[in-house]
Amino acid sequence: MEIYVLGLLGSPRAGGNSDLLLDSFLAGAQESGGETEKLILNELQIRPCQECGGCDGTGICIQEDRMREVYPKLEKAHIVAVASPIFFSGVTAQLKAMIDRCQCNWVRRYRLGRPPQDTPSPQGHKDRLGVFLSVRGQMGRGIFDAAGPAR
């Protein structure tokens, strides 16, 4: 079994710096023997979360759009690499919409007590790794603060 690495491009600009950065990361994963896949979120037309409560009882989002293709890939991935430029001190709208639509995953795990199917890595680990790759176009301190982990 090889490691499955899912790359998510949050940038609306194909061929831009975030895209090149993600491609380099995925190329390294492939060179190390991993299976890689890249999703360009801007091409998927993912609608934003409506906070409708439709997932509260099932852990499944009731919206029917291309996000339904993303959920099983997220569950299968051993490593998820997310690439996004910083727009107005945060990630892009395309990436934010995808993140918000993962509310149903949170509901399934923490409210309904049904964690995702853990796909063991070739080394037998059930832990998943997330990587955030980002670039910025302006100088200054704190540019990445809103997009990064809480301190």
Query: What is the H or E stretch that residue 42 is in?
Result: helix 41-44
| DSSP 8-state symbol, 61 | -
Higher pLDDT, 114 or 57: 57
Domain residue extents for the chain:
4-135
Residue among 49, 41, 39, 36 nearest 103 (CA): 49
| pTM for the predicted model, two decimal places | 0.87
| Superfamily of 4-135 according to CATH | Flavodoxin domain (3.40.50.360)
- Tell me the pLDDT tens digit for each residue of 72-108: 999 999 999 999 998 888 899 999 999 999 999 999 9
- Tell me the pLDDT tens digit for each residue of 3-33: 999 999 999 999 999 999 999 999 999 999 9
Do 126 and 75 meet the contact criterion of CB atoms below 8 Å apart?
Answer: no
